[in-house]
Structure 1
């Protein structure tokens, strides 16, 4: 049976090793890492999936912001990475982790503007993410535009830049 625990309860090197197995050692070069550069994951929204004492998955959420060209500054959450032990992928662990993180964000009042880079069919079907408001967003790296997804009533639609939010959540 899968149990969710705060990712802070897991040794950081075990989390990093799982991320390397799931995404490769060059994962730090990805655009999502650049968007959240210099900030720590949000502890209340970052979890590990454990089964019989073994780490089988993780999810992390990050404080980022949208700096609108119109002066609008929107605090946002970046969801991901969602990492699952490669031998356990396609078994629903990632979906359960994502649902748990989103439910936790909702309970904490932090679900008004969430973004991620991912498969639009999957994240749209199961979690209501889409690219309808992200077309004019700028990000610090390459992305397939249809994979830059968002959900929440406070998601901005105009032109602006996504980047790290260096302030503490209140």
Structure 2
């Protein structure tokens, strides 16, 4: 049995050990890290799965944007990494973490929807993330700041169907100055 809690309630080094176990110590070189480079995770969308005193899963979400080739900027939330301890896989931890983050980003659970909460994106296995409503139907012309497999660039919700680069979301003050 496991419980979900805010990720901030778990020591940061425990999260790092879990991510290393799930994705390898070389994970920092992946394109997903470049997409969210320089921004902090959305604390209200980051959760831990805890069994007793052990961290057995985590999810983090990040403020990103589609910087359209047409000059538009669409705020989105990048979901992931979603990590589950290898010893605790296939018991619903990943699904529980995903649904909690999706509901919270969408304004459910009695909280105000965050900026970009209707547009979610991730890089992942389409067969797994289909159960959460993610697909590649709108991401055909999106680019990322590094190599990726196009069929693994997935989105959910109100997402733009424009060409552009997905990257860190600029703070609101910077968006206002450039508008």
Deviation at 1:90, TM superposition (A): 1.6
Query: Equivalent residue for 2:163?
Result: 159
Structure 2 residue 143 is the aligned partner of structure 1 residue 135: no
Which residues of 2 match residues 9-88 of structure 1 at below 5 A?
Answer: 9-88=9-88
Partner of 2:124: 118
Q: Where do 5+ consecutive residues of structure 1 fail to align?
A: none
Stretches of 4+ aligned residues off by more than 2 angstroms: none
The one-character-per-residue Cα deviations of 1:35-84 (angstroms, maximum 9, x if unpaired) are 00011110000000011121100000000011101111101100000000
**TM-score, normalization: structure 1?**
0.94
The 3-state SS of whatever aligns with 2:75 is strand
- Residue by residue over 1:1-25, the C-alpha shift from the partner in whole angstroms, topping out at 9 and shown as x without a partner, is 3111111111111100100000000
Alignment RMSD: 1.1
Paired positions, count: 166
Q: TM-score, normalised by structure 2?
A: 0.90
Distance 1:33 1:156 in 2: 22
Instruction: Look up the SS of the partner of 2:104 in the other structure.
Output: helix
Q: Which residue of 1 aligns with 2:97?
A: 97
Distance 1:67 1:138 in 2: 10
